[in-house]
């Protein structure tokens, strides 16, 4: 590995933030986009390959920086960040020709004769705001989406009190690998973010907390700038009495304490059927020990991360101390190491204590997991609890009962719903990833990222022949009758019948003309 981490050591100095001229950066990107070069597929692929080289040629340096910042294991960083960015890049190298091809659509009677298409064109200059818990994937994946769709991008690196080693590395790598005519970056703290958001963009993508989302939304309102927001929230896991308990406990333990709980789609709390509650919790404890060790061994585990800074450490500790009497597993901490052990807060069937706890007061974003036992066989109570709260970024349901699964799909709303697993939905680039309501808006990743960073422009090509005089004034009763027929809202069945009739008539006319031609030839 990379040795012990000294969090008290002086971090690498970042460039002086006062030397940044964000308005000039945006103006330069505007000029780059105005050149029209990024509309060319070849240019997009060239820029994507430069990002690809940045990742491939510096994997070890990225892994080392993640270790120094958050004590993250290289395998975890590879799976959650490096592999994800590589997959995103490959997708945008493989499919841009197909995605940018004009999409032919049907043409209504008012626009006949004519042809209708959807053209996908780049938006312009976009702003991508990354965040510290996954500083590579949450910055680079939307960057790939933006560049792959033909835009220029201004990147906002994570805050200067978070991933200092990673920020230092990214600044050096961006300067070395990326073409600053089309990609630029901003670093610093809240003040730099506010300054950056005063500029006008064609879209803002932001990953982060609800606070970040509101800050972005307020700034975007000035210019009616569209947004894609991937925010957090309290993502629940529901375990019903038909679930495979061993697998459920293993997967929830993995997802809840992955990256020391600093994951927006982590299971934030668990609702488990009272019939199986105690068995489930016992299995959870067993799985945590299998992953990270028991007692003091957790602190020595290379597989277990650390909280990003003292501010977050103290916030999570306040939650822990408030709910200390509910700790049934874990609870150890070391402020100098920003270490909090994987901790279970078991409220059992005490609903009042559960709902009024500090753990349920907001997103935990740390290695604490609140557990509540809902009434035996009363899945409706668990569904109702989730449905009456803010819509989460993710919802997890563990069950082998088909009816229960169907109910979860139909009776709840979340950015994503995963049955019998957690967190893994983000690895599938063939489905959209995003929030709903308080957990975000819009979606990205893969083709859906291409769509998010593109404008779908309607283009209709018409001829000047067969001009319909009835559409023009002066209007008459005859013109009205014609227009009512033309504008009639034919049903799908009626349109199918009409098309079939026209086709049969055309074939009949063709056969007649062919027969007539043959008879004339014979004569």
Residue-wise pLDDT tens digits, 28-41:
999 999 999 999 99
Residue 518 clears pLDDT 80, i.e. is over it: no
Percent of the chain residues past pLDDT 90, beyond the cut: 85
User: Among candidates 78, 71, 61, which has minimal Cα distance to 166?
Assistant: 61
Farthest-apart Cα atoms in the chain, separation: 106
- Phi-psi group of 461: left, alpha or beta (phi > 0 → left; psi -120 to 50 → alpha; rest → beta): beta
| pLDDT of the residue at 148 | 98
Hey, what's the torsion of the CAs at 54, 58, 61, 63, to 10 degrees? 90
| pLDDT of the residue at 523 | 60
| pLDDT of the residue at 14 | 83
Q: What number of CA atoms fall less than 13 Å from residue 132's CA on the CB side? A: 24
Q: What number of CA atoms fall less than 13 Å from residue 386's CA on the CB side? A: 34
Alpha-carbon gap, residue 338 to 39, rounded angstroms = 46
Alpha-carbon gap, residue 499 to 504, rounded angstroms = 9
The pair of structure tokens assigned to 429 is 């680039």
Alpha-carbon gap, residue 482 to 350, rounded angstroms = 70
Residue-wise pLDDT tens digits, 171-218:
999 999 999 999 999 999 999 999 999 999 999 999 999 989 999 999
pTM comes to 0.94
Alpha-carbon gap, residue 318 to 366, rounded angstroms = 12
Residue-wise pLDDT tens digits, 441-474:
999 999 999 999 999 999 999 999 888 899 998 8
Residue 506: pLDDT band with limits 50, 70, 90: confident
Residue 3 clears pLDDT 80, i.e. is over it: no
Residue 509: pLDDT band with limits 50, 70, 90: confident
Residue 276 clears pLDDT 70, i.e. is over it: yes
Residue 519 clears pLDDT 90, i.e. is over it: no
Instruction: Quickly count: other Cβ atoms within 10 Å of residue 55's Cβ.
Output: 19
Residue-wise pLDDT tens digits, 142-178:
999 999 999 999 999 999 899 999 999 999 999 999 9
N- to C-terminal Cα distance for the chain? 94
Residue-wise pLDDT tens digits, 55-97:
999 999 999 999 999 999 999 999 999 999 999 999 999 999 9
| 217-226, long-range: CB < 8 A, 24+ apart | 219/194, 225/200, 225/201, 226/123, 226/202, 226/442
| pLDDT of the residue at 521 | 67
| Mean of per-residue pLDDT scores for the chain | 95
Instruction: Let me know: does 234 contact 268? Beta carbons within 8 Å.
Output: yes
Alpha-carbon gap, residue 58 to 140, rounded angstroms = 14
Instruction: Quickly count: other Cβ atoms within 10 Å of residue 507's Cβ.
Output: 10
**Domains of the chain, earliest start first:** 26-232+446-457 (3.40.605.10), 236-429 (3.40.309.10), 470-520 (no CATH)
Alpha-carbon gap, residue 394 to 422, rounded angstroms = 9
Per-residue DSSP letter, 153: E
User: Among candidates 367, 365, 363, 362, which has minimal Cα distance to 345?
Assistant: 367
DSSP string, 405-421: HHHHHHH---S-EEES-
Q: What is the arithmetic mean of pLDDT over 405-410?
A: 98
């Amino acid at each position: 590995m990379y040795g012990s981490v000294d969090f008290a050591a002086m971090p690498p100095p970042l460039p002086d933030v006062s030397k940044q001229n964000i308005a000039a950066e945006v103006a330069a990107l505007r000029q780059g986009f105005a050149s029209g070069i990024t509309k060319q597929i070849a240019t997009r692929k060239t820029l994507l390959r430069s990002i690809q080289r940045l990742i491939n040629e510096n994997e070890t340096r990225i892994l080392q920086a993640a270790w120094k910042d958050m004590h993250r294991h290289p395998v975890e960083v590879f799976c959650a960040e490096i592999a994800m960015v590589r997959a995103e890049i490959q997708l945008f190298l493989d499919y841009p020709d197909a995605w940018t091809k004009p999409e032919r659509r049907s043409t209504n009677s008012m626009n006949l004769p004519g042809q209708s298409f959807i053209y996908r064109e780049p938006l312009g200059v976009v702003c991508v705001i990354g965040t510290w818990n996954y500083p590579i994937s949450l910055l680079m994946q939307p960057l790939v989406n933006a560049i792959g769709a033909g835009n220029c991008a201004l990147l906002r690196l994570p805050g200067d009190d978070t991933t200092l080693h990673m920020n230092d590395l990214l600044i050096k790598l961006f300067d070395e690998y990326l073409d600053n005519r089309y990609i630029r970056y901003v670093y610093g703290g809240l003040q730099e973010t506010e300054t950056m958001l005063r500029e006008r963009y064609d879209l803002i993508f932001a990953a982060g907390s609800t606070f970040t989302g509101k800050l972005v939304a307020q700034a975007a309102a000035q210019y009616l700038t569209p947004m894609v927001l991937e925010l957090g929230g309290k993502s629940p896991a529901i375990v019903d009495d038909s679930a495979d308990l061993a697998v459920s406990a293993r997967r929830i333990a993995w997802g809840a304490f992955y990256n020391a709980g600093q994951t927006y789609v982590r299971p934030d709390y668990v609702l488990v059927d009272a019939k199986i509650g105690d068995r489930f919790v016992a299995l959870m404890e067993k799985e945590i020990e299998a992953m990270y060790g028991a007692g003091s061994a957790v602190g020595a585990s290379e597989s277990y991360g650390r909280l990003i800074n003292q501010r977050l450490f103290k916030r999570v500790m306040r939650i822990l101390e408030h709910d200390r009497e509910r700790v049934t597993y874990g609870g150890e901490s070391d402020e100098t190491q920003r270490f909090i052990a994987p901790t279970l807060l078991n409220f059992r069937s005490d609903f009042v204590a559960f709902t009024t706890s500090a753990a349920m007061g907001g997103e935990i974003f740390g290695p604490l997991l609140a557990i509540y036992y809902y009434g035996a066989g009363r899945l409706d109570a668990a569904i109702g609890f989730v449905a009456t709260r803010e819509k989460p970024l993710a919802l997890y349901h563990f069950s082998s009962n088909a009816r229960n699964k169907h109910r979860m799909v139909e009776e709840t709303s979340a950015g994503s719903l995963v049955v019998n697993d957690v967190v893994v939905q983000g690895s599938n680039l063939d489905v959209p990833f995003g929030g709903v309501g308080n957990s975000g808006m819009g979606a990205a990743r893969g083709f859906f990222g291409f769509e998010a960073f593109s404008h779908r422009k309607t283009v209709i090509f018409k001829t000047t022949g067969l001009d319909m005089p009835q559409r023009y004034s002066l209007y008459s009763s005859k013109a009205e009758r014609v227009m009512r027929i033309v504008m009639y809202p034919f049903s799908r069945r009626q349109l199918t019948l009409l098309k079939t009739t026209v086709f049969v008539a055309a074939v009949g006319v063709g056969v007649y003309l062919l027969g007539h031609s043959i008879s004339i030839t014979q004569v």
